[in-house]
Each structure stands twice: as structure tokens, then as C-alpha cells.
Chains A and B, each alone.
Chain A
Amino acid sequence: MRIALFATCLADAMFPRAAQATVVLLERLGHEVVFPSGQTCCGQMHVNTGYQREALPVVEHHVDVFETALRPRAQGGDGVEAVVAPSGSCVGSVRHQHAVVARRMAEQGRADTGLAARAEAVAAKTYELSELLVDVLGVTDVGARYPHRVTYHPTCHSLRMLRVDDKPLRLLRAVHGLDLVELPDAEQCCGFGGTFSVKNADTSTAMLADKIRAVQTTRSEVVTAGDSSCLMHIGGGLSRLRVGTKTVHLAEILAGEGWEAAL
């Protein structure tokens, strides 16, 4: 399948390994990955902080870029069949927020009335990585090997906005050599919440402290998740407390040990 990668701004700038591993994994599975170079960001930070007017041009831009990617080549597009992002949160924003912003801004006369429908069309073809693998490509065993003790944090937006359910766990269970340990109170938020982590830093930190305690009880070498943002938060806490557990994006595990050789 020909698939467009939406790297997400955070992975692009700060955690390129998540996006690189996604490319390596999909190519290993025999798919063709395209990176529409005009892409930037889904605008979630703006929307979740209340700045929908400011988010509008970002949303419009995202829709423009991926609408083009989804258009057949004969019509000047990339002819991709799907868009994938290594982030439940950013896909959640594309799927659940873009049309909302478009409608609100159209009501205020700031956006074109057709934008919401275009956003919905792009959203319908946009998948989080585990969704793409399990639902669209129909694989759970991606042929990876990763001989480590790992615990999985099901990030809130993957779990409750996208309802990815146990898809990431099914993928992880099929990884050879991986020792999967259940994370206590796994469904509790890590406390990131975008600008929440700064506006309500004390509460956010209290939530993070409990998440880190839970991670520690698993005595895992690695904590993984489908979102670089939550991993940045958990990892930031682990690093500050000098806990040895590493944060590794789900895509990097599914790409398999030694995937960097393909870089």
C-alpha cells in the first residue's frame, strides 16, 4: 500500500526516531511510504489551549497538504490510500477536532464553509500506527524481535478518543523475545495534557509521580506508548529521578531490535 506519513511536529523536531521507525517498519512490511514535505502540525496545542482562531490556518494547511497526498497521481496528488501518524493524540486531533474548529470558524465567518467536510474526508483516511497495522493492513505479528522487559502505557487519546483498545498490546505480544509486563493502573493519565503540564504544573507532576511509581513496580527496562508527547513527559520524570527505565516509542519496538541499521 502507498501510505503518507504524518510525522507530527513533535516527532519531526524532537523525536525523529519514532517517525523513522515507522518508515522502516512499513517499508519492511512491503509498503511504500511518502512524506508530504509541506506538512507541519495538526494544531492540537492551539485548540486545546483555547486558540482556535490561531489554529485555523494550521488546520487548513494540514488539510491542504494531506488532501493533496490522498488525491490520485493523475490529478496531481501522491495517490496514497492512507495517512499514518505515530501518535494517537495527533490522529485524535485530526479526527475529532479539525472539523469542530472548521465549523466554529465558519460560524464566525473566518473559515470557508467547505473546510469541515474536507477535514472530515482527510480524517477518515488518517490512522494511528496500531490502527493502520491491525485494521487496515491486517497484521499483528510484524516479525520484530525485541528481547527486553517492557511495560505499555495506553495513552489517553489512543485509548479514549481513538478507541484503539488492545491493538497495541496485540502487536507487542507478537514481538519475539519481548517480556510484556502489565502496568498497574495503566489507564490513568500520566499528567501531560499539553499546556496543562505547564498551566497546572503541580497537579500534572502529582499525576506523573504516580505513573512513575507504577512503572517502577513493573521493573521494566522499557516503558512504551504510541505517543511521543506522553513518553516525553514520563521520560522527563524518569530522567529527573534517575530511574533507569527508558522510554521507547511503540514504532521503535515494532521496527525490531537493530532497526537503526536500516537508517
Chain B
Amino acid sequence: MTTFLGMPGLPVATERGTLRGPDTFPVAARRALADTQLRKNLGHATSTIRAKRARVVGELDDWEELRAAGAAIKADVMARLPELLVQLEENVTARGGHVHWARDADEANRIVLDLVRAAGTPDDPVTSVVKVKSMATQEIGLNEALAEAGIAAVETDLAELIVQLSDDTPSHILVPAIHRNRAEIRQIFLDHMPDVDPGLTDEPRVLAMAARAYLRRTFLAARVAVSGANFAIAETGTLAVVESEGNGRMCLTLPQTLVTVMGIEKLLPTWRDLEVFLQLLPRSSTGERMNPYTSMWTGAPRTSDGAPDGPQEFHLVLLDNGRTATLADEAGRQALHCIRCSACLNVCPVYERTGGHAYGSVYPGPIGAVLTPQLAGMHGHGADAPAGGDPVDSLPYASSLCGACFDACPVRIDIPSMLVHLRAKHVETAQAQRRVPGLPASAENAAMSAAAWVMQDAGRFSFAERGLQLGRLLARDGRIRSLPPPLSAWTTSRDVPAPPAETFRKWWARTRGDRS
């Protein structure tokens, strides 16, 4: 039987392979690090976006105040989540929309599938839907679920399209094809895009035009669209989608039916709260003062003259899928404050070098390392087995705790502290599962216990220091080039200096021992 972390009765996400990858982080990272093209693409893209973000954030002298407000609003949302969700539901329903609730991925997929089917007729069934990039639908594996039912989901965001055409998986929250450069994208289009101009160049403008031409007819003929949502305003029932290309506007405006799948945490209490988030999000994500397009709609939208304006069949699917399990952990629930801007990915030295696929989850990078283990649950496996343990369990360790993510986060999520918290949770789970009571859970655990026993007494510590002195025998020219496992992982690329002839403690006793 599998034991998951979290509060009893609060189940984690449905296992659909979108949160738990095939390999642990160290194994997948090793593979990614060997790909020099990937390293170059990521290095170029993340340094570009870091500079852009720094420039536009620097334009605002009230950035810290905006961050503080953003954090406070999100904390308030969590505290009043039941009431705010019910308020949102009332307002959406009052304005002609329909609200559905989904406990997990399977239930959400079933709801969407039924709605897509209902939008067609027996004579004229709906066989495809257009999609706006959405993390929630990726998380629940909606495209795959629709495909199983014979319905094609067409991704319309350029980066999502690149990923979909090449049968790849996203590697970044905002720019899912960040791991591809222009030459690779050109080749993907030539290989997989029907009717593409064979003379296609790798100029980004030309590639964007190819996507425009390819999707144009699909947009104009679409009957059903599926989207996510960046924000939902409880007070008004308004939904907001923030985008750049206009593919979002196409999906949110032209079809008769719109289905929006949204995590229950994406709420904001009031209309006014948008004044904070519409400033925080674009500057943090694409490094723009404002993204090209933001669409907002309430229920089945009407113009001021009362004429229909956009989809008159509007369905909002509210998704749990492990979010309540996350909410139950007071030290971990901040992960639900995330607005999916990706700033933490772009500043993370680990992400920059491994890319997103190494995380094995649709949520990669620092936020993924704290969100995924809470949504999907950790098993407590592999506390000291980075290669053999559970992929999700390895994620909280995929960080040097450098803290760059916390500084970049527009809603001040303290990711480093949360990583430390989740590591503790992971170890405690492993310890609770140990096979022989009284024995350490792992070799690592045994070493840590021994080290702790030494470290709580100066006498034991100085005795251990004497043992360390033996290390001088291993050294040549003052350096040690090879150590036995697990420390061999250090010495494969780094020397260790020879221990000193005299520890500080001994020096102090010798020179100043009469004091203190």
C-alpha cells in the first residue's frame, strides 16, 4: 500500500503521468546536461528574459509594494476560499454561464468531453476543439483524454503548437518550446505543418506568419474552444486570460461554446485586485509593461446594446486535483499563490542548465519543485537514492537553495523555505515507513544521525576532528582528488583541500586558552 503525504481524506492528484515523470531529477538532469544544444538554447532564452524583466521591473518604484499586496490578496483568497468560490459561482451563473466542479483530473476530463459532445448534433458532431494555452488542462491530460474519445484538440499558442506538432512535451510554464531554437522550429514546421511554404526561413517573423496561415481557417471555423484562466473575480464573476498572439482572443471570441478549466486557487476577491495582478504578471512573465492582449468576460457576454458578444454557451470547470491536499499544509499552501508567470524558472540556475523536462512534471522549475510534490504526493522513497527513488520525491532536492526564485516571485512565495519544509516532510515519511523499527531508514539517515550525535557535543566534535586529520594521508600537494562513495560524487569534478594540521579549536586553546 502506498502512503501519501497530506491530510487523511484529502486525496492528491489523479495519476496521469503529467506530474510524475519516468526518472528522478538527477537521472533526467544528467541526460539534459549532456545536450549541448539544449544548454545553449536555454542559456540564451533565460538570459534574454531575465534582462527584459529586470528592465521593466526597474521602471516601477513601487514594485515591492505591489508584491506585498499580491501576497496579501492571495493569502486572503486561501483563507476564504469556500465563500469566494461560491460567490464566483453565483455571479457566473447569474450572467448566463454554467459552473462545474471536478474533484480530480478524470472527473474534469469527463465534464469537458460531455460538454464538447453536447455542442454537436448526431448529424454534425464536434470533432475538434481549439485550445488556448492552459496549465490546468495540461495537468489533467485533457488533450489525451479528448483524443481517446476521437476529438482533436488543436493547440493555438505558437509554442504549444511547436510542441504539439513535434509530439514533444512542454518544458516551460510560459514558453513551452523554450528548449527549441529557431532552426529547430523551422525544421518542425517543414516536417509536420501541412501546406507549409517549403521556402520557409528561420526568421522568427516568418515562422510566426507560418503559424498564422496554418491556424487561420481553424480559428474561423471553430465551434468549441477550451481555455484556462489567469484570474477569476469572485465579486463580479469575471474571467481573465492574458496572452500575446491573439490566439486567445480567437478562441475566447469566435466559437459558440467556451469551456474554461481553472484551478480553484486562481481566484481574486475583487475587481480592484486586478490593479495589482495586471501590473505584476506581464512584467514578471514576458518582461513587458503589458502583454499585447488581455480578454475579460463575464458569463455569456453581451455588448452594451445587449447583443451577443462571444460564446453564449460558457462553462467554467473548477478543479481540485490535489489542490486541497496542498492547502492542508500550512507551510506548503503558499505554492497555491502562484500566478504561473515563470519568473522563478528564468532566474533559477538549476532550471537554466537542466531545462524543464528534467522535472518530469508539467510544472517545472522552482515552483514545480514545491507544487508538484504537494499536488501529486510524495512516497517517502529514495531519501538517499537519487537514482532509484520516486521522481516526485526527488524534486524538493533539485535546488541549491540559492534563493533567486524568492526574489523574483511577484507574489513573494518563499520557495526556498518551502523546499526545506518538503525535504523534512519527505524524510519524516521515509522514517515512518522504515521496515525495521529502531534502525535508520537509510544509509544517509544513519550518517545524518551519527553526524548529529557528534555535533551536539564539543568533546565528540573535537574527537571527530582528530579523525578528519587522517584525511591528510589521502592528500597530495595539499589536495585530495578521490574519495569513496557517496563523497565520490564530489570528487568526480572537484578536489578537496587537505585538512589543516591544526584545527581552529586547537589553535585557540594553544594561543588563547586561558580565556573563556
Are A and B in direct contact (Cβ within 8 Å)? yes
**Chain A residues in contact with chain B, CB under 8 A?**
7, 9, 11-17, 19-20, 23, 34-41, 43, 45-55, 57-58, 60-61, 78, 96-97, 100, 104, 156-157, 159-161, 187-189, 191-208, 232-233, 235-237, 239-240, 263
Min CB–CB distance A121 → chain B (angstroms)? 20
Complex: how many Å from CA A136 to CA B398?
37
Nearest 9 interchain pairs by C-beta: A193-B400, A236-B494, A50-B423, A160-B403, A50-B427, A189-B402, A16-B504, A201-B489, A156-B402
Which of B29, B417, B457, B493 has the most chain A CB within a 10 Å cutoff?
Answer: B493
**Is A160 a contact of B458 with CB atoms below 8 Å?**
no
Name the contact of B26 in the complex, choosing from A187, A200, A232, A237 (C-beta under 8 A): A200
Min CB–CB distance B383 → chain A (angstroms)? 7
A160 (CB) vs chain B CBs: closest residue: B403
B271 at the interface (CB under 8 A from A): no
B76 at the interface (CB under 8 A from A): no
Chain B interface residue count, Cβ-Cβ cutoff 8 angstroms: 71
Complex: how many Å from CA A13 to CA B451?
14
**Is A232 a contact of B505 with CB atoms below 8 Å?**
no
**Is B420 a contact of A97 with CB atoms below 8 Å?**
yes
**Is B503 a contact of A199 with CB atoms below 8 Å?**
no
**Chain B residues in contact with chain A, CB under 8 A?**
25-26, 29-30, 33, 39, 349-350, 353-354, 383, 386, 396-404, 406-407, 417, 420, 423-428, 431, 444-445, 448-449, 451-452, 454-458, 461, 465, 468, 479, 481, 486-487, 489-490, 492-497, 499-500, 502-505, 507-509, 511-512, 515-516
**Is B455 a contact of A61 with CB atoms below 8 Å?**
yes
Which of B400, B407, B502, B503 has the most chain A CB within a 10 Å cutoff?
Answer: B400
Instruction: Answer whether A207 and B353 are a contact pair too, CB < 8 Å, given A45-B451, A57-B452.
Output: yes
Min CB–CB distance B507 → chain A (angstroms)? 6
**Is B404 a contact of A240 with CB atoms below 8 Å?**
no
Min CB–CB distance A159 → chain B (angstroms)? 8
Chain A residues with Cβ under 8 A from B420's Cβ? 47-48, 50, 97, 100
Chain B residues with Cβ under 8 A from A11's Cβ? 504
Min CB–CB distance B459 → chain A (angstroms)? 9
**Is A236 a contact of B490 with CB atoms below 8 Å?**
yes
Name the contact of B505 in the complex, choosing from A12, A43, A51, A201 (C-beta under 8 A): A12
**Is A263 a contact of B511 with CB atoms below 8 Å?**
yes
**Is A48 a contact of B500 with CB atoms below 8 Å?**
no
Instruction: Answer whether A199 and B403 are a contact pair too, CB < 8 Å, given A49-B448, A97-B420, A237-B493.
Output: no
Interface of A is mostly: helix
Complex: how many Å from CA A40 to CA B464?
11
Complex: how many Å from CA A100 to CA B416?
13
Complex: how many Å from CA A13 to CA B504?
7
Question: A156-B403, A197-B400, A201-B493 provided; 6 other pairs, C-beta below 8 A?
Answer: A35-B512, A50-B424, A100-B417, A156-B401, A199-B26, A199-B489
16 A-B contacts (beta carbon < 8 Å): A34-B515, A37-B458, A48-B401, A49-B448, A50-B423, A54-B451, A61-B456, A156-B401, A160-B406, A161-B403, A189-B402, A192-B400, A200-B398, A201-B493, A203-B29, A203-B353
Chain A residues with Cβ under 8 A from B444's Cβ? 49
Complex: how many Å from CA A168 to CA B431?
42
**Is A202 a contact of B33 with CB atoms below 8 Å?**
yes
**Is A193 a contact of B489 with CB atoms below 8 Å?**
no
Chain A residues with Cβ under 8 A from B504's Cβ? 7, 11-13, 16, 19-20
Min CB–CB distance B43 → chain A (angstroms)? 9
Name the contact of B465 in the complex, choosing from A13, A49, A188 (C-beta under 8 A): A13
**Is B383 a contact of A235 with CB atoms below 8 Å?**
no
**Is A55 a contact of B452 with CB atoms below 8 Å?**
yes
Min CB–CB distance A137 → chain B (angstroms)? 20
Min CB–CB distance A71 → chain B (angstroms)? 13
**Is B456 a contact of A204 with CB atoms below 8 Å?**
no
Complex: how many Å from CA A52 to CA B515?
34
Name the contact of A58 in the complex, choosing from B423, B431, B452, B468 (C-beta under 8 A): B452
**Is A240 a contact of B386 with CB atoms below 8 Å?**
no
**Is A41 a contact of B397 with CB atoms below 8 Å?**
no
**Is A198 a contact of B33 with CB atoms below 8 Å?**
no
Chain B residues with Cβ under 8 A from A199's Cβ? 26, 386, 397, 489
Chain A residues with Cβ under 8 A from B445's Cβ? 51
Chain B residues with Cβ under 8 A from A55's Cβ? 452
**Is A39 a contact of B487 with CB atoms below 8 Å?**
no
Instruction: Answer whether A37 and B505 are a contact pair too, CB < 8 Å, given A51-B445, A240-B493.
Output: yes
Complex: how many Å from CA A240 to CA B496?
9
Min CB–CB distance A183 → chain B (angstroms)? 15
**Is B383 a contact of A203 with CB atoms below 8 Å?**
no
Chain B residues with Cβ under 8 A from A161's Cβ? 403
Name the contact of A104 in the complex, choosing from B25, B30, B424, B449 (C-beta under 8 A): B424
Chain B residues with Cβ under 8 A from A9's Cβ? 455, 461
